[in-house]
Amino acid sequence: MTTEATLESTTSASPTARQVWTRARGVLLGLVILLVAAIAIAAVRSDAQHGRLDPRSVDANGSRAVAELLADRGVSTRVVTTLEDARTAAGPDTTLLVAAPDLLTDRQQTRLHSAFANSGGRTVLVAPGIPSVGSLAPGITADPTPSYDTTLPPHCALPAAQRAGTADTGGIRYTTTAPDADSCYPSDGLPTLLRVPTLEGDGDTVVLGAPDILHNHRLDEQGNASLALQLLGSRPHLVWYLPSLSDDSATDGGDRSFFDLIPSGWLWGSLQLFIAAALAALWRARRLGPLVPERLPAQ
Protein backbone atom coordinates (compact mmCIF):
# COMPACT_ATOMS: atom_id res chain seq x y z
CA MET A 1 0.00 0.00 0.00
CA THR A 2 2.83 2.38 0.87
CA THR A 3 4.69 1.59 -2.34
CA GLU A 4 1.63 2.27 -4.53
CA ALA A 5 0.99 5.58 -2.76
CA THR A 6 4.60 6.59 -3.27
CA LEU A 7 4.43 5.76 -6.98
CA GLU A 8 1.19 7.72 -7.40
CA SER A 9 2.67 10.77 -5.72
CA THR A 10 5.84 10.68 -7.82
CA THR A 11 4.01 10.13 -11.13
CA SER A 12 1.09 12.53 -10.59
CA ALA A 13 0.43 14.98 -13.46
CA SER A 14 -0.96 17.67 -11.11
CA PRO A 15 1.10 20.92 -11.38
CA THR A 16 2.85 22.24 -8.31
CA ALA A 17 2.27 25.69 -6.84
CA ARG A 18 5.49 26.94 -8.42
CA GLN A 19 4.44 25.66 -11.83
CA VAL A 20 1.06 27.38 -11.52
CA TRP A 21 2.73 30.68 -10.60
CA THR A 22 5.20 30.37 -13.49
CA ARG A 23 2.39 29.85 -15.97
CA ALA A 24 0.09 32.55 -14.53
CA ARG A 25 2.56 35.37 -13.90
CA GLY A 26 2.60 36.39 -17.55
CA VAL A 27 -1.17 36.82 -17.56
CA LEU A 28 -1.11 38.77 -14.30
CA LEU A 29 1.64 41.03 -15.58
CA GLY A 30 -0.38 41.76 -18.73
CA LEU A 31 -3.46 42.64 -16.66
CA VAL A 32 -1.42 44.98 -14.46
CA ILE A 33 0.00 46.74 -17.53
CA LEU A 34 -3.48 47.16 -19.01
CA LEU A 35 -4.81 48.57 -15.75
CA VAL A 36 -1.95 51.05 -15.39
CA ALA A 37 -2.36 52.15 -19.01
CA ALA A 38 -6.11 52.69 -18.55
CA ILE A 39 -5.53 54.81 -15.43
CA ALA A 40 -2.83 56.88 -17.18
CA ILE A 41 -5.01 57.52 -20.25
CA ALA A 42 -7.99 58.53 -18.10
CA ALA A 43 -5.82 60.91 -16.05
CA VAL A 44 -4.31 62.54 -19.14
CA ARG A 45 -7.68 63.01 -20.80
CA SER A 46 -9.33 64.42 -17.69
CA ASP A 47 -6.58 67.03 -17.33
CA ALA A 48 -6.02 68.00 -20.96
CA GLN A 49 -9.39 67.83 -22.66
CA HIS A 50 -12.51 69.85 -22.05
CA GLY A 51 -15.79 70.11 -23.83
CA ARG A 52 -17.18 72.45 -26.43
CA LEU A 53 -17.49 76.10 -25.38
CA ASP A 54 -15.34 75.44 -22.33
CA PRO A 55 -13.19 78.45 -21.37
CA ARG A 56 -10.45 76.05 -20.26
CA SER A 57 -10.22 74.34 -23.65
CA VAL A 58 -7.66 75.22 -26.33
CA ASP A 59 -9.43 73.08 -28.94
CA ALA A 60 -10.95 74.72 -32.00
CA ASN A 61 -14.43 74.75 -30.48
CA GLY A 62 -13.19 75.70 -27.01
CA SER A 63 -13.24 79.23 -25.57
CA ARG A 64 -9.87 79.62 -23.85
CA ALA A 65 -8.90 82.55 -26.07
CA VAL A 66 -11.81 84.79 -25.10
CA ALA A 67 -11.30 83.97 -21.41
CA GLU A 68 -7.64 85.04 -21.63
CA LEU A 69 -8.52 88.26 -23.43
CA LEU A 70 -11.07 89.05 -20.73
CA ALA A 71 -8.46 88.33 -18.05
CA ASP A 72 -6.15 90.89 -19.68
CA ARG A 73 -8.96 93.42 -19.20
CA GLY A 74 -9.42 92.57 -15.53
CA VAL A 75 -12.48 90.31 -15.92
CA SER A 76 -12.29 87.09 -13.94
CA THR A 77 -13.81 83.90 -15.37
CA ARG A 78 -15.13 81.09 -13.19
CA VAL A 79 -16.54 77.82 -14.52
CA VAL A 80 -19.52 76.22 -12.77
CA THR A 81 -21.32 73.01 -13.68
CA THR A 82 -24.24 72.90 -11.24
CA LEU A 83 -27.43 74.88 -11.10
CA GLU A 84 -26.93 75.88 -7.47
CA ASP A 85 -23.52 77.39 -8.20
CA ALA A 86 -24.97 79.32 -11.14
CA ARG A 87 -27.89 80.61 -9.05
CA THR A 88 -25.59 81.68 -6.23
CA ALA A 89 -23.29 83.55 -8.63
CA ALA A 90 -26.01 85.84 -10.03
CA GLY A 91 -25.45 89.44 -8.98
CA PRO A 92 -25.12 93.04 -10.22
CA ASP A 93 -21.35 92.75 -10.78
CA THR A 94 -21.55 89.41 -12.60
CA THR A 95 -22.19 88.25 -16.14
CA LEU A 96 -23.72 84.78 -16.19
CA LEU A 97 -23.12 82.88 -19.44
CA VAL A 98 -25.22 79.75 -20.01
CA ALA A 99 -23.37 77.68 -22.59
CA ALA A 100 -26.03 75.08 -23.39
CA PRO A 101 -29.47 76.26 -22.24
CA ASP A 102 -31.35 73.47 -24.00
CA LEU A 103 -29.71 70.88 -21.71
CA LEU A 104 -31.57 72.30 -18.72
CA THR A 105 -34.80 70.69 -17.62
CA ASP A 106 -37.98 72.75 -17.27
CA ARG A 107 -37.51 72.88 -13.50
CA GLN A 108 -33.89 73.98 -13.85
CA GLN A 109 -34.88 76.71 -16.31
CA THR A 110 -37.50 78.09 -13.93
CA ARG A 111 -35.16 78.13 -10.95
CA LEU A 112 -32.32 79.70 -12.92
CA HIS A 113 -34.53 82.45 -14.34
CA SER A 114 -35.87 83.32 -10.89
CA ALA A 115 -32.28 83.76 -9.68
CA PHE A 116 -31.05 86.17 -12.37
CA ALA A 117 -34.29 87.93 -13.39
CA ASN A 118 -33.85 90.84 -10.96
CA SER A 119 -30.21 90.35 -9.97
CA GLY A 120 -29.03 93.48 -11.77
CA GLY A 121 -26.40 91.53 -13.71
CA ARG A 122 -26.17 90.39 -17.30
CA THR A 123 -27.21 86.96 -18.51
CA VAL A 124 -25.93 85.66 -21.87
CA LEU A 125 -27.80 82.69 -23.34
CA VAL A 126 -25.81 80.95 -26.07
CA ALA A 127 -28.02 79.62 -28.88
CA PRO A 128 -31.12 78.81 -26.82
CA GLY A 129 -33.68 76.97 -28.87
CA ILE A 130 -37.38 76.32 -28.54
CA PRO A 131 -36.97 74.06 -25.47
CA SER A 132 -35.44 76.80 -23.29
CA VAL A 133 -35.69 80.34 -24.64
CA GLY A 134 -39.29 80.92 -23.56
CA SER A 135 -38.53 80.04 -19.94
CA LEU A 136 -35.13 81.72 -19.62
CA ALA A 137 -36.08 84.80 -21.63
CA PRO A 138 -39.86 85.39 -21.43
CA GLY A 139 -41.18 87.32 -24.38
CA ILE A 140 -38.63 85.83 -26.80
CA THR A 141 -39.47 83.01 -29.22
CA ALA A 142 -37.06 80.95 -31.30
CA ASP A 143 -37.92 80.72 -34.99
CA PRO A 144 -37.89 77.10 -36.24
CA THR A 145 -36.11 78.12 -39.45
CA PRO A 146 -32.42 78.87 -38.81
CA SER A 147 -30.37 81.51 -40.55
CA TYR A 148 -28.41 80.28 -43.55
CA ASP A 149 -26.13 83.33 -43.42
CA THR A 150 -23.43 82.99 -40.79
CA THR A 151 -21.76 86.40 -41.20
CA LEU A 152 -24.12 89.32 -40.70
CA PRO A 153 -23.96 93.12 -40.25
CA PRO A 154 -25.44 94.53 -37.01
CA HIS A 155 -28.18 96.86 -38.34
CA CYS A 156 -29.11 98.03 -34.82
CA ALA A 157 -28.36 100.81 -32.37
CA LEU A 158 -26.73 98.62 -29.72
CA PRO A 159 -23.30 100.24 -29.06
CA ALA A 160 -21.51 96.91 -28.69
CA ALA A 161 -22.81 95.73 -32.06
CA GLN A 162 -21.99 99.02 -33.80
CA ARG A 163 -18.41 98.96 -32.53
CA ALA A 164 -17.94 95.30 -33.47
CA GLY A 165 -19.47 95.57 -36.92
CA THR A 166 -19.98 92.40 -38.97
CA ALA A 167 -19.84 89.22 -36.90
CA ASP A 168 -20.57 85.50 -37.14
CA THR A 169 -23.89 85.49 -35.30
CA GLY A 170 -25.98 83.64 -37.87
CA GLY A 171 -27.77 80.65 -36.39
CA ILE A 172 -31.07 80.61 -34.54
CA ARG A 173 -33.35 83.57 -35.28
CA TYR A 174 -35.70 85.09 -32.74
CA THR A 175 -38.84 87.17 -32.37
CA THR A 176 -39.71 89.25 -29.33
CA THR A 177 -42.61 91.19 -27.88
CA ALA A 178 -40.39 93.34 -25.64
CA PRO A 179 -40.82 96.96 -26.80
CA ASP A 180 -37.37 98.13 -25.63
CA ALA A 181 -35.33 95.20 -26.95
CA ASP A 182 -32.27 95.70 -29.16
CA SER A 183 -32.69 93.52 -32.24
CA CYS A 184 -29.34 93.01 -33.99
CA TYR A 185 -27.76 91.04 -36.83
CA PRO A 186 -31.00 90.27 -38.68
CA SER A 187 -31.28 87.46 -41.21
CA ASP A 188 -34.30 87.61 -43.51
CA GLY A 189 -35.89 90.15 -41.19
CA LEU A 190 -35.41 88.27 -37.89
CA PRO A 191 -32.58 89.08 -35.45
CA THR A 192 -29.96 86.57 -34.38
CA LEU A 193 -28.94 88.65 -31.36
CA LEU A 194 -31.32 90.25 -28.86
CA ARG A 195 -30.69 92.32 -25.76
CA VAL A 196 -33.64 92.73 -23.44
CA PRO A 197 -33.26 94.96 -20.33
CA THR A 198 -34.86 93.85 -17.10
CA LEU A 199 -37.86 95.69 -15.73
CA GLU A 200 -35.94 96.75 -12.63
CA GLY A 201 -32.32 97.78 -12.20
CA ASP A 202 -29.54 97.82 -14.77
CA GLY A 203 -29.59 94.12 -15.63
CA ASP A 204 -30.29 92.65 -19.04
CA THR A 205 -30.48 89.38 -20.93
CA VAL A 206 -28.58 88.78 -24.17
CA VAL A 207 -29.73 86.01 -26.48
CA LEU A 208 -27.08 84.94 -28.97
CA GLY A 209 -28.19 82.83 -31.93
CA ALA A 210 -24.85 81.07 -32.53
CA PRO A 211 -21.77 80.28 -30.44
CA ASP A 212 -19.25 81.03 -33.22
CA ILE A 213 -17.97 84.31 -31.80
CA LEU A 214 -16.81 82.44 -28.68
CA HIS A 215 -14.88 79.66 -30.44
CA ASN A 216 -11.10 79.78 -30.45
CA HIS A 217 -10.76 79.31 -34.21
CA ARG A 218 -13.34 81.99 -35.05
CA LEU A 219 -12.40 84.67 -32.54
CA ASP A 220 -9.98 86.48 -34.89
CA GLU A 221 -12.48 86.67 -37.76
CA GLN A 222 -14.83 89.56 -38.58
CA GLY A 223 -15.74 91.52 -35.44
CA ASN A 224 -16.16 88.39 -33.34
CA ALA A 225 -13.55 89.23 -30.70
CA SER A 226 -14.88 92.76 -30.22
CA LEU A 227 -18.47 91.60 -29.87
CA ALA A 228 -17.57 88.75 -27.49
CA LEU A 229 -15.47 90.98 -25.24
CA GLN A 230 -18.14 93.64 -25.03
CA LEU A 231 -20.96 91.19 -24.31
CA LEU A 232 -19.01 89.28 -21.66
CA GLY A 233 -16.87 92.07 -20.23
CA SER A 234 -19.46 94.57 -19.05
CA ARG A 235 -19.08 93.33 -15.44
CA PRO A 236 -15.90 92.52 -13.49
CA HIS A 237 -16.87 88.87 -12.98
CA LEU A 238 -17.90 86.28 -15.55
CA VAL A 239 -19.48 83.01 -14.44
CA TRP A 240 -19.41 80.42 -17.22
CA TYR A 241 -22.18 77.89 -16.64
CA LEU A 242 -21.68 74.54 -18.40
CA PRO A 243 -24.85 72.53 -17.68
CA SER A 244 -24.13 68.92 -16.85
CA LEU A 245 -26.40 65.89 -17.13
CA SER A 246 -24.85 64.59 -13.91
CA ASP A 247 -26.11 67.58 -11.92
CA ASP A 248 -28.38 66.44 -9.08
CA SER A 249 -30.87 69.18 -9.95
CA ALA A 250 -31.46 67.57 -13.35
CA THR A 251 -33.32 64.69 -11.66
CA ASP A 252 -36.51 64.86 -9.69
CA GLY A 253 -35.27 63.10 -6.58
CA GLY A 254 -31.59 63.91 -6.85
CA ASP A 255 -30.61 60.44 -5.56
CA ARG A 256 -28.04 58.48 -7.50
CA SER A 257 -26.58 55.04 -6.94
CA PHE A 258 -22.89 54.21 -6.65
CA PHE A 259 -22.72 53.12 -10.30
CA ASP A 260 -24.19 56.46 -11.42
CA LEU A 261 -21.16 58.17 -9.89
CA ILE A 262 -18.69 56.08 -11.92
CA PRO A 263 -17.78 57.67 -15.27
CA SER A 264 -18.85 55.64 -18.29
CA GLY A 265 -15.23 55.39 -19.47
CA TRP A 266 -14.21 53.50 -16.35
CA LEU A 267 -17.09 51.05 -16.72
CA TRP A 268 -16.13 50.40 -20.33
CA GLY A 269 -12.47 49.96 -19.36
CA SER A 270 -13.36 47.50 -16.61
CA LEU A 271 -15.41 45.47 -19.09
CA GLN A 272 -12.48 45.34 -21.48
CA LEU A 273 -10.15 44.16 -18.70
CA PHE A 274 -12.65 41.45 -17.70
CA ILE A 275 -12.89 40.18 -21.29
CA ALA A 276 -9.09 40.18 -21.62
CA ALA A 277 -8.73 38.21 -18.39
CA ALA A 278 -11.34 35.65 -19.49
CA LEU A 279 -9.63 35.15 -22.86
CA ALA A 280 -6.24 34.78 -21.20
CA ALA A 281 -7.61 32.20 -18.76
CA LEU A 282 -9.20 30.26 -21.63
CA TRP A 283 -5.95 30.34 -23.59
CA ARG A 284 -3.98 29.05 -20.62
CA ALA A 285 -6.50 26.31 -19.92
CA ARG A 286 -6.26 25.06 -23.50
CA ARG A 287 -2.46 24.96 -23.30
CA LEU A 288 -2.49 22.82 -20.15
CA GLY A 289 -4.76 20.29 -21.81
CA PRO A 290 -6.42 17.27 -20.19
CA LEU A 291 -4.60 14.91 -17.83
CA VAL A 292 -2.87 12.01 -19.61
CA PRO A 293 -3.24 8.61 -17.91
CA GLU A 294 0.06 6.80 -17.36
CA ARG A 295 0.62 3.12 -16.74
CA LEU A 296 2.42 2.47 -13.50
CA PRO A 297 5.50 0.23 -13.71
CA ALA A 298 4.99 -3.29 -12.44
CA GLN A 299 6.70 -4.18 -9.18
Query: Collapsing DSSP states into helix, strand and coil, what is residue 264?
Result: helix
- Compute the CA torsion angle 108, 265, 53, 215 (nearest 10 deg): -160
Q: How many CB atoms lie within 10 A of CB 154?
A: 23
| 85 assigned to some structural domain | yes
- What's the pLDDT at 273? 75
284 is a domain residue: no
Residue 27, domain member (yes or no): no
Does 46 fall in a domain? no
Is 286 a domain residue?
no
Angle, nearest 10°, between helix axes 17-48 and 264-288? 160
Q: How many domains does the chain have?
A: 1
How many other C-beta atoms are found inside a 10 Å radius of the C-beta of residue 178?
A: 17
Q: Is residue 298 part of a domain?
A: no
Answer yes or no: is 109 within a domain.
yes
Short-list 205, 157, 212, CA closest to 178: 205
pLDDT of residue 291: 60
Give average pLDDT by consecutive 10-residue segment, the chain, 299 residues.
47 61 69 69 50 90 95 96 93 95 93 92 95 93 91 95 96 93 95 91 92 95 96 96 80 51 60 76 61 67
For residue 47, what pLDDT is reported? 43
For the whole prediction, is pTM greater than 0.75? no
Range of the domain at 228: 64-245
Q: What is the model's pLDDT at position 139? A: 92
Looking at residue 271, its pLDDT comes to: 73
Give a yes or no: residue 272 inside a domain: no
Residue 201 sits in a domain whose CATH number is: 3.40.50
